Structure 1
């Protein structure tokens, strides 16, 4: 513990020396819906925390709904006295914030690794899955890919407007994959990339996607699952900030336009043993087939994680490369679980179902739980789409059905934690019911 504190203290002191104009640091963590919460600390107080002073925030901040409200979930929130819970600083995440008007820093905090971790904190859920896999000699290597849209900064009666082409000032309303779009929006995209790198995020490829103003960012493969998910979470935060600075609005909303493709979170996962051997390639890729079978078996029971809100379910089906059933295939982007072409050393799955606004810690935890279950059960998967285009298993496409399917699945409860599953499902159920309480303009047009 002393060595750990000295490392953190050195990190804070180095940051203060390199950024003497920074007076405050945002200490942030991701809640269940995937929003950051936290506190803004004077940098001199941060040094005390790094030296060992307690860092406490309300436990129930993790339970906030999509709009920031609290729901009654068991005894949490209203019958527990709203207790504080210990958090710790995540080493290596103290970085400058360049998109704010005033000099600022930010640093991740978490309850995992404390004496009493919060069982339903997303990062803690993933930490437990990774720890269990490590004890079994399984070491994941992970890479996220995130799609997002750029909109005009100003909304039109609450609706998004197409991003303005900076060269012509015309609306970028033509869906395409043209490389010229990267050039036209190079100023904001380059700033997003450089800002992400300054946050310690290993971003690689930038792609202009099919939707108007839609882009995709790929991250480097990482042998630390927590850090890979940290990168995805932090990238969303910095990208929104940089976009606003340039007069745009960046959104990871799953389906902003009905007529254009939605935005997904694709996750590449390979599994290695302690000697560096690819476990999925073992026995002529038999382990790969078992892992795929496990992923597909649990997928219908993890839909509230992969599609975490009403809008995310709109993304499924109806447009290019969006699966409507739990399926798999080799080099097939219509599949939920795609096997990219690679050599045995780099053999991996690409899980393509999650929406871009899903919680990256929980998405990765659910994927790894499926892979783990498959390796244990050793079952054969259904036929790949390459052999049968109709192959696939149904999954829920409505939130309340999805919540019931998740809450009642014993393997999911065991792999992700029963307390987490109950809390998460009730949070999603309450969020969905709250969303349904508002009557929109279309409803009046149809039924008034």
Structure 2
């Protein structure tokens, strides 16, 4: 077998042969709020990194707030000297970037798998959860679904405008599920899909959603949880770039319009043992019930992950298929945890609560932690919505309450890592407080 460095070196050299016009490659990773950070490397320097030269970036880049600022979190940021931390290249992710004006490449980097992984790096958090499950003989298969909105490229006094229908040049202000909307916006949607496939992302179904200019993209089921989350993260980046190229803005913002549905991140998860048997389907699906109970038990304590900002909480309960309580049901889109109809081989849960702008690594880590907790404790879930429409347990509906519910919950701290939980909760608390430090026009109208 080739060594990791030999495999990476071959990948870089093949890329250079196939794309000789590319002079720079963006080395990127996802921070806590779900934004990419990184460095732009000359491609010849990338070859040296692939061969084994150190790759270091500031450790605290992972801690940036939603607007890029640094918060004092324990001794991080202001009392630690802002140290560098090692990163490594993620094999198989070196791809061309087609939405920039100049030839460019991009490649994922991560601290997981290095000598000193960053405990609060989102990809490292998911890595630890997956490794623990693999040691138990449990192998997840994962598929993400992402909803997003298209807007006109120009804002109106800072506010989004409906996208213009390319055929009629009128605004697409009619919320509907019509298949014709896919045809009218086919140029940009097809470019998004083809660009994603060029990034190695397995794109499957495209749907016109209910909101004006709202669409959903489904990804294929993947037996590598890290790769599935990589796909979701990379898709958000490429989709924004492609939209701008076509004269639109694409956004995964959770609730851009109060009067229309928000955008969610739906995650399908099935679990298999070493022999390829579906763990959830065994013993008349009793493990499925245990897994559901575990998900529902941890859900109220993972809300800062599922709803990672002030706007994301606006999405809950307002319109279509957005739950206000932790619930489950068979073929029920009003439930947080839906069990789609399937044969025993493909039995799975669909976790529907997270907003589309949530961090996919952390969302999947929290879902898997809930499934693991349920299989361990073997508790029975509450009644499904199919039996009792009022069934469900409350969860926090604002950020500060959500942070309090998460930070000291022992199971969450054990499953996701105490250091991560402390850092993440303080990051969200500080982001929320920073968001409040601006007086809106509405506030003057009400109280001046």
Bin of the TM-score, shorter chain as denominator length: over 0.9
Deviation per CA, 1:226-265, whole angstroms, max 9, x where unpaired?
Answer: 0000000000000000000000000000000000000000
Q: Distance in 2 between matches of 1:418 and 1:318?
A: 33
Deviation per CA, 1:307-344, whole angstroms, max 9, x where unpaired?
Answer: 00000000000201000000000000000000000000
Match of 1:249 in 2: 249
Q: Distance in 1 between matches of 2:244 and 2:117?
A: 35
Shift of 1:431: 0.0
In the superposition, the TM-score normalised over structure 2's length comes to 1.00
Q: Distance in 2 between matches of 1:342 and 1:47?
A: 46
Deviation per CA, 1:355-380, whole angstroms, max 9, x where unpaired?
Answer: 00000000000000000000000000
In the superposition, the TM-score normalised over structure 1's length comes to 1.00
Shift of 1:126: 0.0
Shift of 1:408: 1.2
Deviation per CA, 1:111-163, whole angstroms, max 9, x where unpaired?
Answer: 00000000000000000000000000000000000000000000000000000
Match of 1:121 in 2: 121
Deviation per CA, 1:20-55, whole angstroms, max 9, x where unpaired?
Answer: 000000000000000000000000000000000000
Match of 1:387 in 2: 387
Flag structure 2 segments of 5+ consecutive residues without an equivalent. Answer: none
Match of 2:169 in 1: 169
Shift of 1:223: 0.2
Shift of 1:2: 7.0
Q: Secondary structure at the match of 2:268?
A: strand
Flag structure 1 segments of 5+ consecutive residues without an equivalent. Answer: none
Q: Secondary structure at the match of 1:353?
A: coil
Match of 1:353 in 2: 353
Match of 1:261 in 2: 261
The runs of 4+ residues in structure 1 deviating greater than 2 Å are none
Shift of 1:170: 0.3
Q: Distance in 2 between matches of 1:441 and 1:233?
A: 34
Q: Distance in 2 between matches of 1:2 and 1:268?
A: 33
Q: Secondary structure at the match of 2:375?
A: helix
Deviation per CA, 1:390-417, whole angstroms, max 9, x where unpaired?
Answer: 0000000000000000001000000000
Shift of 1:209: 0.1
Match of 2:308 in 1: 308
Q: Secondary structure at the match of 2:207?
A: strand
Q: Secondary structure at the match of 2:325?
A: coil
Q: Distance in 1 between matches of 2:166 and 2:300?
A: 43
Alpha carbon RMSD of aligned pairs, Å?
A: 0.6
Equivalent positions of 1:42-441 (< 5 A) are 42-441=42-441
Shift of 1:351: 0.0
Q: Distance in 2 between matches of 1:92 and 1:220?
A: 17
Q: Secondary structure at the match of 1:2?
A: coil
Q: Distance in 2 between matches of 1:4 and 1:359?
A: 27
Q: Distance in 1 between matches of 2:374 and 2:96?
A: 42
